[in-house]
Structures are given as structure tokens and as C-alpha cells.
Structure 1
């Protein structure tokens, strides 16, 4: 049986990475007047940025539109073939169009250029051919040309799509900084993600309120306080005075320390063994801040108070876990 020569997968892979890296490096010198003009057109846009492209350029365009939309520039993708069959109605004169084509002469894209021009929507192109139809029709052309594709056949879009994607990211980041887009703004675009929950979710959104708050008065016996802890399931109970002001807290940890002292649980009032002046948090604070406090103090629950010290809620580590803050 003839022994097969091992296949070398690493060499072509490394060559592809180097070729694409060179294509990205070449983009730096092209961030000039046309790039600035494209940013100005988008900053002044009263509608949305509409990205279009065919084939692999379309896939890259979809990602660019998504990145713009999540970083403060309202944007969506329109397939150029569908645009010729009704989806042109999605584009208005208030929009800015980014058309992507490596050749700059893709028929489906070129077909809709007169319609875009007629409605008066500013056109930005991303092409690998500065002399193409698309580049000539655009108010700003972003040069994403490459010397060679990473594909050894020179057929599969590889370096060219990478360069286009990076140029799109550069555009999105430049606009993000120009708008003063913040982490909290980003969170509003990603409310379902962990970052969104950490930056948007307030203590008031997840805290226990009303009858769900474990609460006893200062003269309640330890045994009765333990029943309240068991009923409410937060691993602690708050202690409030007649005015509803928080005066202390009693936790599972306090119970362990108390039992070491052989305290009479049936006759000892909770005010003698509770923790006074414990850490609290207010309802309008971020839930992530409550998590930081619990981590710092190695505790599992926090009373929630208002500006006057009145008890308004309670929150524990399980609430934060269920809400996805952790």
C-alpha cells in the first residue's frame, strides 16, 4: 500500500492571511478627502443609510449596514436585484446610499444608479475600480482595491471582501466618534445582550417590592424573623421601624454567627442581633452596581431604600442572575 504524502494545510493558510493583511495595510493611505466626504454625507443624512451590493459584496454590505445601525447610524440593506422589482420604494431622497461592487460595474447595481440619482439620494461607492461606472457616479468613492486575491485562482473574493469590510468598519467607527456615541447608546441598540442589561437595567426593574419584601419590626423575635426569611426566600430579612425606615438587616450569615453564641431564638428580639447601618442601594441605580456592591462585600442581598432611608425593595444575587446581569 502506497504511503500518502501528508497534506500541507498551514502554508496556504499563512499565505492567505499575509495577503489579506497586506490588503488591509494598503487602506491606510486611502483615508483621505473621499472618506471625509462620505462621513459628511452620512452625518448630514436626514433619513437612513441604505447599503446595497450583489453576491459576496452583498454579504459584506449586510454586515456593514448592521455595524452602522448598532453604532448610531440608522442603516439597512437592500438587495439590488430586489430593488429593481419593488424594493426601490424602500429608498427615499432623504437617505444616503452606499453601493458596493469590486468591479464597479455589477449590472444589478448599475441598473438602479439612474433611479437613485433621479430621486436625489446622495451616493457613496465602495469599489476596487476608481474608473468604473459606479465610482464615477458617486459623490464619494472609497477605494477598496487589492493587488491580489488570497484565493490562488484569483477567483473567489477574499482579500477584496476583507478590505471592503474593514473600510466599512473604519466608516462606522469614524461616525461613532463624531457623534459622541457612548457605551450606553450602544446598549440601547443591544438590549438583549449582556452589555445592554448591564448598562440599562436598573435595580427598580428587578427588585422585590410590597409583600415580597422580607421585613420585620425591631421587637420581632429571632424565631419569627427566621420564618419571615424562609417565607420570602431571599436569605435575609430587613428590619424597619414604625415609620418604615430601615434600621437593620439580618442575613443567613448573621444567623450562623448568632447560633455560635447560643442565643435563645424564641425570646431574643431581632434588634439585639441584627446588623445595623448595613449597605443599601437605591432603586434608580444600575443593577450592575448592586452586583459590584455584593461582590465587594461578599454578600448575597441588599435592601433598597429611598433618599430618606425608607425601605422600598430588596434584591439578591439570584435576581441578578435571572436578569442576566451576571
Structure 2
């Protein structure tokens, strides 16, 4: 179920339909833990009434960056495919009312930041980008950290969704596009199926590529992490079976309510386990990848191997993965993905983003 359209303004929205960007717009989560100012909120509302046309190739990396940036601002974006949008050039073009803008990535991103100030993009200068290139954090560690963020958000979203279903007691959503309770359960099942595929591929990637590298440096280092992967499999399979059972129940029956309660409990267990597991990996395990001292070419090969293991995640589930990230984080992940793929594979994946 695609969620990029959830960046657009809606009068009614179920808990399940909220994406990370909506949380920023609503002020429930803000930078550095502070509350959003009234001025920022007013600016956000004003941007939502602006419609931007983005002309560019569906396979253009720069066009993808601009789209993420505009989504981050809460601006409605109409993408218009064009291989030569700028008088024969392949440079993407933004049209905002009577204004037309094109140029380098940094120039256009700074224009977007000035035109739509809230929330800020934090566009880096060329010097700052060069400094980032010198960052010592291995590429694969950066990619895994972003995957952890996306998976964590998707699990939390499903927890909220099931809680919302239980609170409604089998009644339909306030959003008619969600459909009847049975239709909603089918959407929940599809969403969990996508999450489950990403979770399994993520675990396989770590077990086949990352953990062996660390184990060669220090045998037994990854034993606990491997055990935690195995521990959560019964919970994940139980959630899948629970959703399947609820899908055929009468939404008004006591059994339905009890099944939702059990499903909620399982999801919360998965949420707690995965949050703790990711925290331990990010803090206590993955930093040792830097001590392995892989050179740049070796880092790139390791990341390539990781992406190859996660084929589903980086093909038909790529949008799903990016939906769990803020647009700025999605741009960072896109950078990593592009750095390790040939032009043809990159082009086919970018088409998934704009379709």
C-alpha cells in the first residue's frame, strides 16, 4: 500500500495512514525534542496549499532528490515525466506558479529551503559534503542504521493500527478509503507481509554478510545477535497467523475483540524486542565494523553484497522501505544505494519511486 500520497493534506486520516513526515507537520515529534512553534506550523499549512510541478526523467537521481525535499516540506508535488525538460537538457525543472527553477542539486535544494522554510532541510554546502565523504563510519553501518529506523517505524505503525482497530470495536475507519473492517484487515495483512519480508531479508543480510566479517575478527562476537534473530521468528509467524484468523471473523464478535487483543500483545512484543535488538546492534556491535579497517573498495563490495541479499527490499519493496524514513533520511539511503549499483539497476529502482 503506497504511502507517499500521505504527505498530501487530508481532512481525515486513520492512525495507520500517518507517515513520519506527518508527525513533523503535526508537531508531535520535533527537532531536538522541542515543540513546534506557531510560526512554523502556520508556514507548514501555507506550503500545503502550494502545488509544485516537477519535470524530469523518471530515472533521474536529481529529480528524486527534489521530490523527497518537497515531500519533506509537505508540498503537493506533481511529477511530469520528461527526458529533456530544460530546453534539451536533462536537468530537472521545478515550476511553482509563474516561477521556473533549475540548476545544480545544491542550488535547487537551497531554493526549496528558502521558498518553503519549514521544516528546514539543512542543506549542506559543497565543503560540508566533502567533509562527510571523509566520515569514517563504514557504508554498511550507515545503511543498516537507516534500515533499523524504517523497520522500527513500520512496527510502531502496525502497533498503532491494531490499537486503533481494537478501540473502534470492529467499526469501520473514519477514512472511507480504508474500506470495511474486513477490507481493512486485508490491507493490514498486506502491510505486515511487506514488513515481514524486509525483516527476514535484513536478518539474512546481517547473518550472511556482516556477522561473518565481525566473527573473523573476534569469534563469538555475534552469538547474541544471531540468537535474537532466531528468538523473534515464532513471534513474527504468530502475528502472521493471527492476522489471517482475524480476517475471516465477524468484526462484531467477542472472538474478534479477543483476537485483536492477542495480536496487539504479539506486535508489542515484536516492537520491544526489535527496538532493543537494534539499539544493541547500533551501540555495541556495528561500531566494531570500523575496527575491521576495510578500505573504500572493500566497504563498497560489502554494501553491494548486503543489497544483493535484500533483493526484495531493493526492488518491489523499495518504496515501503523509504516510507519509514524522513525524506532527508531517504535521500541518504538513496545515496548509498546509488553508490553500489549500475546505472540500469538504479534507473529501474528510481522508476518505482515516482510511479
**TM-score scaled to structure 2, two decimals?**
0.22
Q: Whose RCO is larger (CA < 8 A, sep 6+)?
A: 2
Of Structure 1 and Structure 2, the greater helix share is in 2
Of Structure 1 and Structure 2, the greater strand share is in 1
Decide which structure has the larger Cα Rg and report it. Answer: 1
